[in-house]
Each structure stands twice: as C-alpha cells, then as structure tokens.
Amino acid sequence: MLTAEKNAMVEEIELLVAKYGKDRSALLSILHEIQKRYRYISEYAQQEVARMLDIHPVEVYSFISFFAFLNSEPKGRNLVRICKTISCDMVGKSAIVKTIERELGVEIGGTTKDNKFTVEYANCLGLCDQGPVMAINDRVYVKLTPEKAVKLLSEVK
Amino acid sequence: MNIPGKTERTGPVLFSGYKRGEAITKALSLSREDILFELKDSKLKGRGGAGFPTSTKWMLVAAAKGDKKYVICNADEGEPGTFKDRVLLMEYPELVFDGMVIAGYTMGASLGIVYLRGEYEYILKSLEDYLEEMRKDNLLGNNILGKGINFDIQIVLGSGAYVCGEETALIESLEGNRGEARNRPPYPVNTGFNGKPTSVNNVETFAAVCKIILNGGKWYCTFGTDKSTGSKLFSVSGDCEKPGVYELHWGAKISEVLDLVGAKHTKAVQVGGASGICIPKSQFNRTLAYEDASTGGSIIIFNESRNMIDVLKNFMEFFVEESCGQCTPCRIGNSKLLEGVELIEKGEFTFNYINKLKDLGRTMQVSAKCGLGQSSPNSFISILENFKDEVLNKSNGGRNGR
Ligand SMILES: Cc1cc2nc3c(=O)[nH]c(=O)nc-3n(C[C@H](O)[C@H](O)[C@H](O)COP(=O)(O)O)c2cc1C
Ligand code: SF4
C-alpha cells in the first residue's frame, strides 16, 4: 500500500474512533465500517485500530476471524451470497448456483479472474417466504430464476 | 430492492393498528410498578424462543443495582426460517421502538441498543430515519414528552454470526469480544453489557409490551391459552401456497396453520427452525404453544416429495458452521451428528451407531454451554425418530408418521 493511501486510511480510522469512541465496545462498529469501505480489514488497519483502542492487534484479528462478514484478506469487488438454507434450497437454490457458476466461470467460494465477483453461500437471509434469495453486496433480491440472477449480475458495475 | 412494501396485514393484537407514541404517553402516566404489574398480569413470555417471563426479567433489572442500565433489542434473527422480526422492523417500527422506550422508563435505563443482524443492513437507513422522527416528536432523547425521562436508542449491526443471537454472545460481541456465549449465571439482568444490568428482549416482545400497556394485561390474556397468553407471529415458509408472516393466537393447531397457508400433501412440519423439532403428520393436531410445540415462530413445511435426510443434512451443516467452537459437546458433537447423517445418506450406517449418536445428541442437550449446542440435536433426534421408516428403513416417504 502506498504511504498516501496508508495515511488516508489512518485518517479514516481516526474519524471512526471519534464517531464510535475509544472504548473496546466500539470495535464491532468500527470494523464493520472499515470492511464496508475497503472490503477487507488489512493487517495495517488492524494494527491502527488496535493502537487507537489500546488493545493488542491479535485481539482485533481474533475478533475478525470470528465473524463471517469480516475478513482480513481481500475478496472480489462485489460479494454475491446465495442463501442455502432449507426454504431457499427447496425452491431451486441449486439451479441458481449452477447457473451463476457457469456464467461467471467460478466455483462457489471463489473469485472471478477479473476480481469482479466473489460468490459464496449464505445462511438464512430472512426472506424464506420469497426464495430463492441472493444478496449482492448489501442489497437483496428475491424470487430468483436462473435467468433473473444472471441479469442482475450483468447489471453490476 | 424488490421487497414488497407494507402489505395490509391483520391480526388480533400486533397487526391491529397503532399510532406512534400512544403507548409511551400512556406508560409515562403510570408508575414503574404499575407497568410491571400490568406485564405480570399479561403473563407475557419472551418471543425470542426461550420464553422467559418478561415481567420477571424487567423486575430483576429494575431492582438491580447499577449506575447505568441497558435495554437491548435482539434483532439478530438468524434462526433458519424466521423473518417476522424483519417484518416488524420494516413495517411496524413504532411498536418496537415505543416498546423499547417503555422498557427504558420501567427499568431506569437511559440507553437502548438494537442489535440488528448484518444481513438486514438494507433496513438500517429507514430505521435511523425513523428514530430521528421520534426525536423530533420528543418521543426519544432528553426529557421525553416533558416527563423528565431520558432515553435514546442506537443501532449496532452484527456481522454474520448466528450464535450472536444468544444473549450473552450478543453482549460479548457488543463489548468488542468474540461472540462466545458466557456461563450463566450470572445473568445479564445483573452483569450484562459492560457489566451493567441489562435486559435483552426480542423485537416482538417489545411490540407486545406496547399493546399490553395500552389495553391492559387482562385484555391480553383473552388471547391465546392459559399458559401461552396473547398472540404470536409465525414465519411460514416451505411447501405451501401462501408463505409469509401470520399473527395467530397462541394455541393454534398445526393443522389449522397448514389450512390457512394452503399447504397440501404435507408430510412434516419443522417447528422452531433448525433448532426446533420436526413434527410428522400423525401429530398435526398438536398446538403451537409454550406448553406443547414451542417456537420462536419459524414454521417450515415439507410435502411428500421431500427427502427428510436432505432436510436434516441442511440443518446439521448449519450447526457445524455456526458453532462458536468454544465447548466440546457442540464443536465435536455437531460434526459427529453430521457424519452420521452422511452415513445414512450413503446407506452405510449401522443401527447401533445411529443409536449411539442419538445418545450423543441427548448428552449435548444437557452438557453444551449455550442454547445453540443444547438445541442443535433436536432436529437430529426428532427426524430420526419420527421419520425412521423413510430415513432408516427406506420405505415410502409418504407413509411416514401414519
Ligand atoms: C443460538 C441462539 C440464537 C438466538 N437467536 C436469537 C435471536 O435471533 N433473536 C432473539 O430474540 N433471541 C435469540 N435467542 C434467544 C436469546 O438468547 C434470548 O433468550 C432472547 O433474546 C431473550 O428475549 P425474550 O425474553 O424477549 O425472548 C437465541 C438463542 C440462542 C441459543
Ligand atoms: S454450545 Fe456451541 S455455540 Fe454454544 S458455547 Fe458451546 S460451542 Fe459455542
């Protein structure tokens, strides 16, 4: 990472700490925002958060490793998550997954070569009456068909 | 986002119309004791699944010593097949947030925290806008309605861990720790968020409180059964014509629900989500109530075309993934149960081994540290017992439970 980028990130983390406080209880919210902004929480970011909250960097790492939505390694630019819980499973989740894998040339869990998409399974997204359901980043799409899923993905920048 | 907007919903209690602030105005004209008595009369039990009496929990927090106290709204809704809290938050925020303000007043807390699951981030903005409107109307913030009560609400997003719906794991994660459940006792009512007395309640519990304060505990008892008073929101999904959220009296029969939602050729109903129990046709006259088939509201319907071992495998994979790994019965136990399901799937099991796994399940029910590992064997045991003809004896699935 360039020094200028690093400095910009430190400034952002400082702002987050100003917003959420220096107490350890700010960790969940701070990390969530860093994750959202950078799509992952780099080692450098972890160290800076730890320094500002006065805890050990390993504790920040340990926290990140616990949560499915926080990651310490970069993923693709867009995160596609397909609900695999039983109600979505019963209305054709597998067909959606197979189609997406074929269209994007990627296996579930993987990232496309152009780094545009990471495709994953999600546990229950809480839209069980409207499956199959998929989330692209923080938006959700319901009552999918394979065709509709592909169309939605093609509309992503 | 293509989620349908506010549909016209009707129901006996929650879906029956309410104006923002109504219950707060009424509550602030009552003493704290009166509110607790009203709740006691209503016999309201927590709607998050465990069913602890709300008046008792609030009384304990109200009586606990602490310079600060907290009210937490558990909106982590991660149980497979549950989505009623999302509907309440999107369509009836007035009931949920007014209930939180009443909780704050009753227990002497000045901060309420909504722990919203990360999967619901798309409703965060509308909720924050809504809270801002409440502040403008002086229903939130300092000196609420001029009554000298201070209470504010903040929303914190979870980050994709089912176990964080368990109240002590939730609190751990709010404190900046891994979401690992604590030993209980001590309970959050004494040592909750940041060591202070804290009441954690389900979204629907707060909504019910508003209606009880407005209409009285006695009125609330006219709905439901003697032990399960009031109404309940059910999240219905699976094989039926009209899946969705329904508000019903406690005590409704499973068969009544199936008729209501247009379920045909039903062979099984999973009550209570992945951590609940699977009920066969022969028991469809059982009632949904704390004293019979108890549930946080998830109802998943399976028709005769479904393979119950697929269902069970889906549930067990979920628990293996979501176990926090802190205690052995749950970490190892769920993996062993899943392995057992895979053996059955391949037809390579022995009855002897499956019986041992059921024993393991019963051991987990009593020895796991938190509700996740205590309830994860429920579907394993109930599916293998209630559907053994199909699953273990390879007979026609449609005959199960007859
Ligand atoms: C693994 C696990 C997940 C849970 N998830 C939730 C949840 O998403 N929402 C909820 O209200 N309660 C959940 N609970 C129950 C809570 O621990 C707690 O009992 C509840 O929030 C108390 O609120 P109530 O008394 O209003 O029901 C969960 C429990 C366990 C063991
Ligand atoms: S029962 Fe499971 S989720 Fe609960 S503490 Fe033990 S390992 Fe963690």
Q: Is B366 at the interface with chain A, CB within 8 A?
A: no
User: Nearest by CB to B120, which of A70, A85, A126?
Assistant: A126
Say what the pTM is: 0.96
Q: Which atom of ligand 1 is nearest to the CA of B322?
A: 1
- What ipTM was assigned to the predicted interfaces of this complex? 0.96
Q: Is the pLDDT of residue B400 over 60?
A: no
Query: Region B59-86: what's the mean pLDDT?
Result: 97
Residue B377 alpha carbon to ligand 2 centre in Å: 13
- In the predicted model, what is the mean pLDDT of chain B? 95
Q: How far is A143 from chain B (nearest CA, A)?
A: 9
Do B182 and B253 reside in the same domain of the chain? no
**B148 CB near a chain A CB, below 8 Å?**
no
User: Both B39 and B131 in a single domain?
Assistant: yes
Which of A28, A55, A90 is closest, CB to CB, to B174? A28
Which residues in chain A have their CB less than 8 angstroms from residue B315's CB? Answer: 86
- Which CATH number characterizes residue B346's domain? 1.20.1440.230
Residues B18 and B167 in one domain: yes
Which long-range CB contacts under 8 A does A89-97 form with residues at least 24 apart?
A89/B310, A89/B314, A90/A131, A90/B238, A90/B239, A90/B302, A90/B306, A91/A131, A91/A132, A92/A131, A92/A132, A92/A145, A93/A131, A93/A132, A95/A146, A96/A132, A96/A134, A96/A144, A96/A145, A96/A146, A96/A149, A97/A121
User: In which band, very low, low, confident or very high, does the pLDDT at B46 lie, cut at 50, 70 and 90?
Assistant: very high
Q: Stretch B373-398: mean pLDDT, rounded?
A: 87
Look at B81 and A130 and tell me if their CB atoms are within 8 Å: no
Q: What percent of chain B is predicted at pLDDT more than 70?
A: 96
CB nearest B178 (choices: A63, A87, A143):
A63
Instruction: Kindly state the percentage of chain A with pLDDT values over 90.
Output: 94
Helix (H) or strand (E) holding B75: strand B70-75
In this structure, of A107-111, B6-10, B304-308, B376-380, the range with the lowest mean pLDDT score is: B6-10
Is the model's pLDDT at B399 over the cut of 90?
no
pLDDT digits (tens, 9 = 90+) for A11-48: 999 999 999 999 999 999 999 999 999 999 999 999 99
- CATH assignment, A78-156: 3.40.30.10
The Cα of A7 is separated from the nearest Cα of chain B by a number of Å equal to 25
Is B2 inside any structural domain? no
CA distance B205 to B45: 8
**Same domain? B278 vs B346:** no
Tell whether B202 and B85 lie within a shared domain.
yes
| B251 CB-near residues (< 8 Å, 6+ apart) | B224, B225, B228, B287, B288, B289
Output A2 or B231, whichever has higher pLDDT.
B231
The ligand 1 atom nearest the CA atom of B169: 17
Contact between B160 and A29 using a beta-carbon 8 Å cutoff: no
Give pLDDT, residue B397: 45
User: Average pLDDT of B147-151?
Assistant: 96
pLDDT in tens, A95-139: 999 999 999 999 999 999 999 999 999 999 999 999 999 999 989
Which domain does B299 fall in, by range?
231-303
First to last CA, chain B: 44
Is A63 in Cβ contact with B177 (below 8 Å)?
yes
Average pLDDT over residues B300-323: 97
Residue B204 neighbours by CB under 8 Å, 6+ apart: B14, B47, B48, B84, B85, B88, B232, B233, B297
**CATH code at position B298:** 3.10.20.600
The count of domains in chain B is 3
Among B303, B330, B352, residue at a domain's last position: B303
Cβ–ligand 1 distance for B370 under 6 Å, the answer yes
**Contact at CB, A142 and B2, closer than 8 angstroms:** yes
Residue-level pLDDT at B168? 97
State if residue B235 touches ligand 1 by the CB under 6 angstroms criterion: no
Q: B395 in helix, strand or coil?
A: coil
Q: How far is A84 from chain B (nearest CA, A)?
A: 8
Would you place residue B395 in the very low, low, confident or very high pLDDT band (cuts 50, 70, 90)? Answer: low
| pLDDT tens-digit map of B229-250 | 999 999 999 999 999 999 999 9
Mean pLDDT, chain A, whole residue set: 95
Cα–Cα distance measured from residue A113 to residue A111, given in angstroms and rounded to the nearest whole number: 7
pLDDT at B6 over 80: no
